[in-house]
Amino acid sequence: MTDRNPAAASSKRHCDLSLDDPTPSAKLQRCSEPSEPTPAGKPNGGAATGEESEMMAGARNPRAQRYLVAVEYIGTRFSGSQKQPNQRTVTGVLEEAFHRFIGQPVSIIFSSRTDAGVHALSNVCHVDVERISKRKPGEVLTPHEPGVVKRAVNHFLLKSEGDIMVTDVCCVAPDFHARYKSLERTYHYRLLAGPESTSVFEKNSVWHISEDLDIQSMKKACSILVGHHDFSSFRAAGCQANSPVRTLDELSVTEETRHGIFWERI
């Protein structure tokens, strides 16, 4: 779920790398109930769904190294994370930075899509990078070290608006998929309650509500939503997810009285 209010949410996506099995693909599958299973192929030549098309778009170039890339961004000047024609998007800016780094186009696949104006503390994606020799065109070289990728891409991102940065890079297995191997999402919603105007430093990171909030009632409502439920009523008209059923592990409200800001965490 992404928040419709541009200034209200920030998201963080987790991939578990703590298992004993040393292979990244095994470590990233520690989820007994995946949020969105890998789509199966269509029988009898049927048309692919939006999710299946994305899966095919993430098919690996056998000569390339697949990287898992974590990014943080301020969503104010982005028209969302998903690539759109004639719009500044997180995917578009990141793909351009990689293109300038390696000299060829790439396809970025994010684990979680965010709407226009939504910030991300950590959103992850995967990308395939084929390192080609500039002296001998066509010769494939040893893949770049993750640290080199991070520094080089951030160099070009700084030439943009300076509102997006790569925070971590690691090599992953060929079958890793940022969306379908993900384990969980965490969202923070910041609500500023009361008649006072929003600070200029907070206006793009909080949702201002002029009336007071009933915190106890909000907490009771949160307890109802925790668990395994059908969230069809929260789906957008064009939602392409296989199922509306999701498991909400935690939903809490915390009051910060000094600044009058309430935190809601999912």
How many other C-beta atoms lie within 10 A of the C-beta of residue 50? 12
Cα–Cα separations (whole angstroms), residue 79 to 107, 116, 118, 143, 255: 18, 4, 9, 32, 30
Residue type, 102: I
Which residues fall within 8 angstroms of residue 69, CB to CB, at 6 or more apart?
A: 94, 124, 125, 126, 127, 149, 153, 166, 168, 169
Residues facing 227 on adjacent strands: 248
Q: CB-side exposure of 266: number of CA atoms within 13 Å?
A: 21
Q: Positive or negative, the Cα torsion across 43, 82, 123, 218?
A: negative
- Quote the CA–CA distance of 20 and 141 in Å, as a whole number: 31
H or E segment and range at residue 54: helix 50-57
Question: Does residue 115 carry a catalytic annotation?
Answer: yes
- Quote the CA–CA distance of 242 and 237 in Å, as a whole number: 14
Q: What pairing do the DSSP bridges indicate for beta strands 184-193 and 9-14?
A: antiparallel
- Quote the CA–CA distance of 256 and 262 in Å, as a whole number: 6
End-to-end CA separation in angstroms for the chain: 10
Q: Which of 115, 163, 168, 230 is catalytic?
A: 115
Question: Would you please indicate which residues are annotated as catalytic (active-site) residues?
Answer: 115
